Structure 1
Amino acid sequence: MHDLVIRGGHVVDGTGTEPRAADVAVDAGRITLVGDVTERGRREIDAAGRLVTPGFVDIHTHYDGQVTWDPLLTPSSLHGVTTVVMGNCGVGFAPVVPEQRHWLISLMEGVEDIPGSVLAEGMTWNWETFPDYLDAIDTPHAIDFAAQLPHGALRTYVMGRRGGDHLARPTDEEMERMRDLVAEAVEAGALGWSTSRSAVHKTSNGEPTPSLTASREELTGLALGLAKAGGGVIDFISDFMDEPEEMEFVSAIVEAAQRPMSVSIVQSDRAPDKWRSLLDGLSEISAKQNIPITGQVAPRAVGVMLGWELSWHPFMAYPSYAALADLPREERVARLRRPEVRATILAERPVTDSEFVERLSTRFDQVYLLGDPPNYEPGPNESVAALAERNGVAPAEVAYDAMMECGGRGLLYFPMLNYAAGNLDAVREMIARTDTVPALGDGGAHCGAICDASFPTTLLTHWGRDRKAGGLFPIEWLVKRHTVDTAAVVGLLDRGQVRAGYRADLNVIDFDRLQADRPEVLYDLPTGGRRLMQTASGYVATVVAGEIVFENGEHTGALPGRLVRGAQPAPDAAGAS
């Protein structure tokens, strides 16, 4: 008997070929047969009328802390993801000495909106070096996970207090040690190293990320660590990509490392067409160096959700709301429900020096009701301002009342990036390019504002079935993008295909019923910390290493997932035929 047989499904194998009717047999955690399986299985799944796909590989998450206390790695695992890669954007928790722990927490809290108290309470901190960290997190989980060495932690570990100052420069001795620690991390199992040159990335105290202005010498020195190890990839994010000097930095880093790089790319309404020239420039460098450079792009707008319980909402800078802001949630909502409180707040104007807070408090033509199920491509006539005009009321009234729905848990949607024209046409063009992969879901991060770990579900539903404006992609192509293509970017070549010899990470999907559910606020983090959670409907089963880990969104109790140490080779030709 086989360990598991998935019968009668439409196999979308991850290679981009059209779906075909086939059974899938699994033994010892590997796919052993795709076709007509005559033998029985110890466990069987009836996949008639359903899609059978590889598990999704999400290469941009921030579970660096959560991996120490949450064996399920939700919400990513609820959206068909069977492998996550963390340690992106240059932030993480190793290497570290005890006196630096609080600073690394403040960096992660500021950059990724993960409450500092949650991290302080939830992590065991039973590590110092990066290899120690890998050993500490190498415990059973529902899905697989892999880590990258973060530049911020590495810099402060080697340079001490000076490492937190982005204007400081490492000495020759410090640079040599950082290079050696990059090599050590990769040899221990890191997939590579990540860095951030974004001014948006700051500690919870407003200090810039330590890698913001890292010199060419520092970045190429770290790249030489990959060259020394003979492996690893580079994760890169920068505010300066439209400057020729930054492209030269990228070229120099890749040349020094002789290793692949991926770069985060989004569309901004300040320069709505710039992303094209950035990707074109990266492709030119890639062709010249003969080394892959891939753009990480989002399959929908990058924005925030707004609500009374969340980090942001339109009334946070209104004086009368500020007087209620620190009340417990239930008491605050009860006050906000009073007609006189509502009238007082709506009669005011925001008082703020923040351009962002001013924008979300006044630009109601860019704010939308999220809906249930969520609508991630609302049109101009669906904005809060448009709804208000049709109803003859002020936009602030519509926003206020919408957030009061569901017992004060109503949500608004404020798309900020990839939505310059009020639609997702640019996103469609981004994900259609062969030099990009879908990513940037940030699973585990932005607990009070974003829940983009549902990107894989959106990729399939919005772009493969539902988009009202048309421009849909074949489902087999979309599956390939989030399996074979994402896995290849980080060197995980043993997964992402439904073929004999490959790792048995699989999804059985009721495609007609597939959807990302309405997000909700939970208080289930350590210390009762808050986070946005988004479940999904339509994932009949998710299989990891041949074991069923989720059935219809419910965890089965199985924990076959493990730390993936380093790049993984593809099965040999005989096993993968």
Structure 2
Amino acid sequence: MKRLLLSAAAMLLVSNAPAPSGAPEYDIVIRGGRVLDGAGNPWVKADVAVKGGIIVRVGDVSGRGAKEIDARGRYVTPGFIDMMDQSGRVLLKNGGAENKLRMGVTTVIAGEGGTPVEAKDIPTYFDTLEKQGIAVNFGTYYSTMQARSKVLGDAAGTPTPAQMKVMEQEVETAMRAGVFGISTALVYSPSNFQSTADLVALAKVAGRCGGYYATHMRDEAAKLVPAIEEAIEIGEKGGVKVEIFHLKAGYRPGWGKLMPQAVQAIAAARARGVDVAADMYPYAAGGTGLDITVPTWVWAEGKAKGIERLKDPAVRARLKQEVAAGSQPDWSNFVEAAGGWDNVILANGHSDTYRQYHGQSIAAIGKALGKDPADAAWDILIGALPKRATALYFMMGEPDIELAMRQPWVSIGSDAGAAEVYGQVDGLGLPHPRAYGNHARVIAEYVKRRPVLTLEDAVRKMTSWPAERMGLSDRGLVRQGMRADLLVFDLAKVDDGASYEKPLASPTGFDDVIVNGVMAIDKGQITGARGGKVLRHSCS
């Protein structure tokens, strides 16, 4: 017996001994970094060991890694999660997502506009992404408009009970394929033709799978609070979690008033048990199509008919009056919200005719062309077809941005896609700095340049909180047993780089990025590895 005990002790000593120099014990060891676990705790000095795509040890690591990273003086955190990504289509063309990786993003949740395929084809879509390879982890929502368009196209109208049944079946098919829930973009036509009751019915289907209702709300300007209340109502009646996309008070006349009311409305709903939260991007300008400047009724019979109407001088005369009059019950007036055409900046006209005017206000373009600004905007819109002319709308005030960012239930989403070619515009064709600088800016601007957030909380908002929010129980923390999505960054060097004038500039500071235990960026160099996984929501 004594001999057996001695043998067991000898085996234990051998198993705990450092690995021989010729046989690495781990795939990666990050040495001596300031480890921020992602939960909001202060940093601790520790090593992090990775093997088989998993964090297997945090603390003093004696064994050697096949890859050793010297993190002394740098921070080690979980990889960032982009809660409002737009990469669902572009990743089929190029899975590299370099602009995401370079700002520390290792996981994206897409789908404001749904999936690029029908519900029945989502399993094949997911399989294709995995077979071709993606550099970031990817999850998505399914748009209610995808279901609606199967029975009503892009026109206004109320679905019949039979049509609603078809829509519900489409949502169920998508949920069982692994999407995280349903999404809406109710500020845009034809999505804004959907009623609250219709959305509640579809939410109930998603709710049976523990899904989410994620929404670009019906209004983010003068009627912000009623839009939040509608989203909460859909969540309560539908039995789903509610995610409010890019929370903002995008209405100059309401700066300092609307955001406190919005925060209060969400906090009150949470206090009574509604699982509602929001994400945001840290910029004063939103970016979207010029078509949002056209009142909703123009599109009631579909896009083709709407374009015909928009070419009619008599219709334009009426529209100009409506733009000047402000928002309507079924239309959020972005021109009013921005404070006029002077604060609407042409981003991409998709036309050689208007390329020289990129970066100029619609008011200035109208003056240069000898046109009313509205005519200039709508001519650019038509000239870009079949592509979508885009603009920047300077609608948000910094005090409101700071207030929203401080809320513990707010995470970070870019509202931008991966770039098919790094250094060019993202998959949306919208040159907005959020596509290249979004997550880096949270640290560079709101931690370093002004004390809005602590570094610990900024990291929490981009890691453990969104992971917890989306049910990603194996990501978002630097802890043993978690998936090895990791960043190593030099806080002193972190800068977002991208600006409205130079929206494609690269961020700095994120020199080592690991996705599922694979080096995606190594000493500042993109490796070309495709370590990402498709994240499928479980519907039992």
TM-score (norm 2): 0.72
Name 1:326's counterpart in structure 2. 352
Residue type at the aligned position of 1:418: M
Q: Give runs of aligned pairs for residues 372-391 of structure 1, distance below 5 A.
A: none
1:38 shift after superposition: 0.7
* Residue identity (%): 25
**Aligned match for 1:474, one of 432, 436, 454:** 454
**Aligned match for 1:137, one of 126, 129, 132:** 129
Residue type at the aligned position of 2:84: H
Residue type at the aligned position of 2:248: V
User: Does the C-alpha gap of structure 1 residues 212 and 352 become closer, same or farther in structure 2, counting only changes over 3 Å?
Assistant: farther
Deviations 1:5-38 (A, max 9, x none): 0001100110101011100011111111111111
**Aligned match for 1:282, one of 260, 266, 273:** 266
1:82 shift after superposition: 0.2
Secondary structure in 2 matching 1:83: strand
Q: Give runs of aligned pairs for residues 303-314 of structure 1, distance below 5 A.
A: 303=286
Name 2:75's counterpart in structure 1. 51
Name 2:173's counterpart in structure 1. 184
1:151 and 2:144 are equivalent in the alignment: yes
Cα distance in 2 for partners of 1:558, 1:478 equals 27
Residue type at the aligned position of 2:396: N
Q: Give runs of aligned pairs for residues 52-451 of structure 1, distance below 5 A.
A: 52-88=76-112, 90-95=113-118, 129-139=121-131, 140-157=133-150, 159=151, 162-165=152-155, 167-198=156-187, 201=188, 208=189, 210-229=190-209, 231-240=210-219, 242=223, 246=227, 249-264=230-245, 265-267=247-249, 268-272=251-255, 273-288=257-272, 290-303=273-286, 326=352, 349=368, 351-354=370-373, 416-419=394-397, 424-443=398-417, 444-451=426-433
Cα distance in 2 for partners of 1:213, 1:562 equals 35
Name 1:488's counterpart in structure 2. 468
Cα distance in 1 for partners of 2:500, 2:102 equals 14
8 Å Cα contact 1:130/1:149 also seen in 2? no
Deviations 1:158-190 (A, max 9, x none): x1xx2311x212221221222222222122110
User: Does the C-alpha gap of structure 1 residues 277 and 257 become closer, same or farther in structure 2, counting only changes over 3 Å?
Assistant: same
Cα distance in 2 for partners of 1:515, 1:317 equals 25
8 Å Cα contact 2:366/2:375 also seen in 1? no
8 Å Cα contact 1:317/1:352 also seen in 2? no
1:451 shift after superposition: 2.9
8 Å Cα contact 2:441/2:496 also seen in 1? yes
8 Å Cα contact 1:315/1:350 also seen in 2? no
Q: Give runs of aligned pairs for residues 493-532 of structure 1, distance below 5 A.
A: 493-518=473-498
1:37 and 2:61 are equivalent in the alignment: yes
1:542 and 2:495 are equivalent in the alignment: no
User: Does the C-alpha gap of structure 1 residues 315 and 492 become closer, same or farther in structure 2, counting only changes over 3 Å?
Assistant: closer
Moved more, 147-156 or 135-144: 135-144
Deviations 1:507-566 (A, max 9, x none): 0001111112346999xxxxxxxxx63422111200001111112442112111121111
1:562 and 2:521 are equivalent in the alignment: no
Cα distance in 2 for partners of 1:133, 1:73 equals 17
User: Does the C-alpha gap of structure 1 residues 427 and 248 become closer, same or farther in structure 2, counting only changes over 3 Å?
Assistant: closer
Matched length: 427
8 Å Cα contact 2:80/2:104 also seen in 1? yes
Cα distance in 2 for partners of 1:246, 1:515 equals 34
Structure 1: gaps of 5 or more residues: 97-127, 202-207, 306-312, 337-344, 359-412, 523-531, 569-577
Deviations 1:281-337 (A, max 9, x none): 23323333x2310122222322469xxxxxxx989999xxx9xx73697xx79xx9x
Secondary structure in 2 matching 1:485: helix
1:417 shift after superposition: 2.7
Structure 2: gaps of 5 or more residues: 1-24, 289-340, 359-363, 378-390, 418-425
Residue type at the aligned position of 2:72: A
1:499 shift after superposition: 0.7
User: Does the C-alpha gap of structure 1 residues 47 and 164 become closer, same or farther in structure 2, counting only changes over 3 Å?
Assistant: same
1:137 shift after superposition: 2.6
Secondary structure in 1 matching 2:513: strand
Moved more, 532-541 or 47-56: 532-541
Cα distance in 1 for partners of 2:242, 2:344 equals 39
Name 1:533's counterpart in structure 2. 504
Name 2:52's counterpart in structure 1. 28
Deviations 1:172-210 (A, max 9, x none): 122122222222212211011100110xx3xxxxxx2x2
Secondary structure in 1 matching 2:102: helix
1:455 and 2:438 are equivalent in the alignment: yes
8 Å Cα contact 2:232/2:274 also seen in 1? no
Cα distance in 2 for partners of 1:302, 1:348 equals 23
8 Å Cα contact 1:294/1:436 also seen in 2? yes
1:350 shift after superposition: 5.1
Name 1:398's counterpart in structure 2. none
Deviations 1:388-446 (A, max 9, x none): xxxxxxxxxxxxxxxxxxxxxxxxx9771322xxxx22211111112322224423454
Cα distance in 1 for partners of 2:461, 2:56 equals 24
Cα distance in 2 for partners of 1:451, 1:551 equals 24
